[in-house]
Structure 1
């Protein structure tokens, strides 16, 4: 058995391998793997690969593709980890509480800063114009969702957390459907005149993504992503309570997933599923799919003990933040050309595209495997 396999097996006693593997599987698709289906379609001409490639694109506006699931799944899993570990802090000393608060604030600020770094900060370089920064980001949203969920877990009972979650769900629905300011809002959910667009254009500092009317990681839609994290907290707490009765836990995860997914699509006619606005129906659909994927990984890995195939994904999942930053800050294509250009250049277009992606993924995974072997984990 390799050192990597031994270390993962040892860590399994402390954390569920299925969660790390699912997190890694989620990250796998934004490291470059989303292009595999397009390359395979060029090679084979099979319509299946064309359909799969279309699922690797974000929805134009209303609707849902599996690529839309990547971000909310990651947020839900951060909530699951919180639900498995976090407890109320009322019984802690003042010093222990302050340490908790410092960690939470540091994590939030660091993720916001790293998000700006991922966005390449100032596109115009230094001297800096603070009006040219895109302050909102994927990492910033992850940090904010986790921070709010942590504060609720630390300070409120489970029943109160449920009430707050329901209030956010209903409140955000009401805001999207009924609140209007001038031409914005009042059930207008288009890309130009939603209430989210008014909030981003009026209150969001810096620039918006591609100067769109509403930023995909804008201010108001944080309410939706906070819901994904809170649902993850409840699922994590359920997993903690029912870990000794795996069959019951699996059944409950499947029920939660199916009910949430069904409810999301049933309510779609009243409030469309929309990723950019992160509508409450989008929350239901993504929480449904996320829970079903978690149930599948839990059954395969932790119940059936089929772990070999999951270990490469777990290695990604253990350093997910650092490799995500690497997709923006490192020129992986240059490294692929440097190492494998002589192999790739004689190939046809389709095969060249396919092997470029394979080599790109391999280089990233080898870096993560090296970090894992040396017990280097970049946690925020």
Structure 2
């Protein structure tokens, strides 16, 4: 995120690369991004991690819950946004070097934010988690942005198919050193082995230490999710097609991807942590259908009265995601007297005081998450009305 001295304030007509859609942007894309980030805030901030409704949790391993759709939706949106942010400049080959420099810079900033978030507040570099959500977004943006500038849609489509097939072969054919035949178990699959080899257990997801859901190898098919979004964006940008035709074929493509993903699931199971090829197709298919529906409603027919809560989230998406991860930790650093007189973090005290006594445990947890979403909505609403967008 840029420093205040570098001016992080823009009007809503000038928007950050691959975060909002840019001049001539799709309202539907901003709404889709806002829905996705709002859902991300909801599932990442329960009142209690021990009490969560099933749909608001990730699948234990194989399978897909509504929560498992959120991250691939965001990467798909990154792909669409790349098209709308870079397509005009791409046509001038003399500007390619400048575009690539911007892409590298933006990716480095995103990766740095992710690293800062993982370090805060202790800043212990020996055990910092290197992979993560922002790190994966950074890599996907870097690769997809570069591919978009230098290739056409046919190459991108072939690259998407090649990535999905290659990843399937790597995960289900290549033996895992020290463990034997290829497998899809959490700690013994090829991706987990590679993460331990290159990053070391100290720099992986603390809940497992032996594998990471945003690991190195699984970032390859995550790039495929971004490529799928790029292809959708180029279809929507086509000026020779009628809106109804665009929408119809987006639904067809989405339905086909869902079916293919479910078929592929038979031998390469849908799995968010492994980001399997079937998961890429299945989630991209749902994202295509959602984008088509929102495009038809918001951009073609202009039904926008209901969209503002999602727009205010959508135009400052990375900002609210980053800050919503830091603020709870800051609140926990502020100690107050708990019910038994012992010092507790302010976040814990607020939850125990205003939610736990009035709800069942699981509903108290949900209420805490909803209030978190509403608080950020209020902050972002003020920023939106004042035309403040923080560039990332």
Task: Indicate conservation of the 8 Å contact 1:112/1:136, yes or no.
Answer: no
| CA-based RMSD | 3.1
Deviations along 1:184-235, one digit per CA (max 9) or x if unpaired, are 4743001121001110110125511024321011100011110000000000
Q: CA separation in 1, counterparts of 2:368 and 2:177?
A: 50
Q: How far has the Cα of 1:64 moved from its partner?
A: 0.8
CA distance in 2, matches of 1:172, 1:245: 36
Question: What SS does structure 2 have at the residue aligned with 1:30?
Answer: helix
Query: Partner residue of 2:8?
Result: none
The CA distance in 2 between the partners of 1:231 and 1:253, in whole Å, is: 12
Q: Paired residue for 1:274, among 267, 271, 290?
A: 271
SS at match of 2:119: coil
Give me the whole-angstrom Cα distance separating, in 2, the residues matched to 1:336 and 1:253. 45
Name the structure 2 match of 1:246.
243
Match of 1:208 in 2: 204
Q: Count how many residue pairs are aligned between Structure 1 and Structure 2.
A: 354
Query: 1:62 touches 1:273 (CA, 8 Å); kept in 2?
Result: yes
* Structure 2 gaps, min length 5: 1-11, 14-20, 333-345
The 10-residue stretch of structure 1 (283-292 or 130-139) with the greater mean CA deviation from structure 2:
130-139
TM-score normalised over the length of structure 2: 0.81
Matched, 1:18 2:19: no
State whether structure 2 residue 358 is matched by structure 1 residue 347: yes
Q: Is the counterpart of residue 99 in structure 1 residue 95 in structure 2?
A: no
Q: How does 1:44-193 map to 2 (within 5 A)?
A: 53-87=53-87, 89=90, 91-93=92-94, 96-121=95-120, 123=122, 125=123, 128=124, 130-184=125-179, 186-193=181-188
Check conservation: 2:174, 2:181, Cα contact below 8 A.
yes
1:58 positional shift:
0.3
Q: 1:185 to 1:106 in 2, by over 3 A?
A: farther
**Alignment match, 1:45:** none
- Asked if the contact 1:77–1:229 (Cα under 8 Å) also holds between the matched residues in 2, the reply is yes
Alignment-derived partner of residue 227 in structure 1: 224
CA distance in 1, matches of 2:304, 2:181: 50
Aligned to 2:193: 198
CA contact (8 A) 1:80 1:234 kept: yes
1:375 CA displacement: 1.9
CA distance in 2, matches of 1:345, 1:183: 48
Residue in 1 that maps onto 2:308:
311
Structure 1: gaps of 5 or more residues: 1-6, 43-49
Q: Give the structure 2 partner of residue 29 of structure 1.
A: 39
Cα-to-partner distance string for 1:152-203 (whole Å, 9 max, x where unaligned): 1111222222222222121111111111133447430011210011101101
351-360 or 221-230, which deviates more: 351-360
TM-score, normalized by length of structure 1?
0.84
**Larger helix share, 1 or 2:** 1
CA 1:321–1:134 in 2, change beyond 3 Å: closer, same or farther?
A: same
Question: Aligned pair in 2 of structure 1 residues 268, 343: CA closer, same or farther (>3 Å)?
Answer: closer
- Matches of 1:34 and 1:243 in 2, distance apart? 42
CA offset digits 1:47-102 (Å, max 9, x no partner): xxx9xx31211011111111001000000001011123423747433xx3332222
Q: Distance in 2 between matches of 1:22 and 1:14?
A: 16
CA distance in structure 2 between the partners assigned to 1:160 and 1:113 by the alignment: 30
2:387 corresponds in structure 1 to: 375
CA contact (8 A) 1:108 1:144 kept: yes
1:84·1:239 contact (CA, 8 Å) conserved in 2? no
